[in-house]
């Protein structure tokens, strides 16, 4: 019975590591399915390189953009940067620049998990690389093909990823080329993994060395920030609900969920028109916005309209 709480205690505070591991596992599974169902090398001169590089780079780029978009810190960094209130801030510009660079590096590090995993797995698999560069293999590795022009040799090499297009007399040369390219691709894949692991480890070491906090103090700080964010989210939800409830009550004359409702308010046609339609943030003064049309109406209208007693006979 105490096994599960011990594991929960061990995993507490390691949400980032767990999230990165889940992202990597999902990326590996997605890459395998993607390769199985969609990848089919054209085996034509000029098309192999474009096709192979597209399957290597485009999904990685998409995963990078998604990684940026799904990180709340990205939107915290860019939202409201053109606000006139921010322009009046007296922040030290150098300190602000350093903080922005630090946050951007943190966001980029998390966003790179999926694309780097994709690149490493696809290179270790080797199929994309074999397709992309087969036509550029030097004759030194497989022996010259006699009585063919350079363009014909490129056409034959481009067909090597498709075994059914290779003449029987070139099967041995094809096997040697495929083995060579898979060797190059897998070595590159493991180099990518090694470089990333070493870079991440050294980055954490440097960040820890220059941290102004001790080890236990740093753990306390991360725990505080996590708990503060959770409590802030709860308070935000409750505060916005209470604030919105005040405006809804003014419009309808009762609070939703209240079982003891004696009367309701009958909005006029003009009031329905006032809260309908599209709305955007409206600046009320230097410090406040109207969040919706109902909010704007509630702050301006006296709401002295018709009320209907619920205990009255119709």
Q: pLDDT tens digits, residue range 85-95?
A: 555 555 567 77
In angstroms, the CA 123 to CA 128 distance is: 7
In angstroms, the CA 200 to CA 218 distance is: 19
SS (H, E, C) 92-158: CHHHHHHHHHHHHHHHHHHHCHHHHHHHHHHHHHCHHHHHHHHHHCCHHHCCCCCCCCHHHHHHHHH
Domain map (residue ranges) of the chain: 6-210, 217-255+265-304
What SS3 class is residue 283?
Answer: strand
Q: How much is the average pLDDT of 234-262?
A: 89
Model confidence over 15-55: pLDDT tens digits?
677 777 888 888 888 888 877 777 888 888 889 999 999 98
Model confidence over 143-154: pLDDT tens digits?
656 666 778 888
Model confidence over 136-189: pLDDT tens digits?
887 665 665 666 677 888 888 888 888 888 878 778 888 888 999 999 999 999
Task: State the pLDDT confidence band at 314, using cuts at 50, 70 and 90.
Answer: very low
Q: Give every CB contact of residue 136 below 8 A, 6+ residues apart in sequence.
A: 49, 157
Question: Where is 309: in which H helix or E strand?
Answer: strand 307-309
Q: Are 27 and 67 in contact (CB under 8 A)?
A: no
**Long-range CB contacts for residues 255-259, cutoff 8 Å, separation at least 24:** none
Q: Which of 199-208, 233-242, 260-269, 277-286 bottoms out in mean pLDDT, i.e. has the lowest?
A: 277-286
* pLDDT score of 283 more than 90: no
Nearest to 143 by CA among 114, 109, 180: 180
């Amino acid at each position: 019975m105490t096994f599960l709480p011990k594991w929960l205690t061990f995993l507490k505070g390691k949400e980032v590591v767990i999230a990165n591991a889940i992202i990597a596992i999902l990326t590996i599974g997605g890459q395998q399915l993607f390769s199985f169902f969609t990848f089919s090398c054209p085996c034509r001169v000029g098309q192999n390189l474009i096709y192979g590089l597209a399957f290597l780079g485009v999904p990685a780029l998409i995963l990078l953009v998604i990684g940026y978009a799904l990180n709340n810190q990205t939107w915290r960094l860019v939202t409201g940067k053109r606000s006139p209130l921010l322009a009046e801030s007296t922040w030290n510009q150098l300190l602000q620049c350093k903080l922005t660079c630090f946050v951007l590096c943190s966001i980029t590090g998390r966003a790179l998990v999926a694309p780097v995993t994709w690149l490493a797995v696809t290179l270790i698999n080797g199929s994309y690389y074999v397709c992309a560069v087969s036509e550029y293999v030097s004759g030194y590795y497989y022996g010259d093909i006699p009585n063919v022009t350079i363009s014909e040799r490129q056409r034959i090499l481009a067909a090597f990823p498709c075994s059914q297009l290779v003449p029987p007399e070139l099967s041995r040369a094809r096997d040697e080329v495929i083995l060579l390219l898979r060797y190059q691709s897998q070595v590159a894949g493991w180099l990518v993994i090694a470089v990333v692991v070493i870079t991440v480890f050294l980055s954490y070491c440097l960040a820890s060395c220059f941290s102004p906090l001790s080890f236990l103090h740093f753990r306390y700080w991360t725990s505080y920030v996590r708990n503060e964010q959770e409590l802030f989210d709860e308070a935000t939800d409750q505060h916005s609900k209470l604030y919105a409830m005040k405006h809804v009550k003014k419009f309808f004359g009762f609070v939703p969920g209240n079982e003891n409702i004696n009367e309701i308010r009958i909005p006029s046609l003009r009031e329905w028109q006032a809260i309908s339609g599209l709305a955007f943030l409206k600046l009320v003064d230097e410090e406040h916005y109207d969040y919706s049309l109902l909010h704007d109406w509630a702050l301006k209208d006296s709401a002295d309209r018709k009320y209907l007693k619920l205990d009255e006979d119709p």
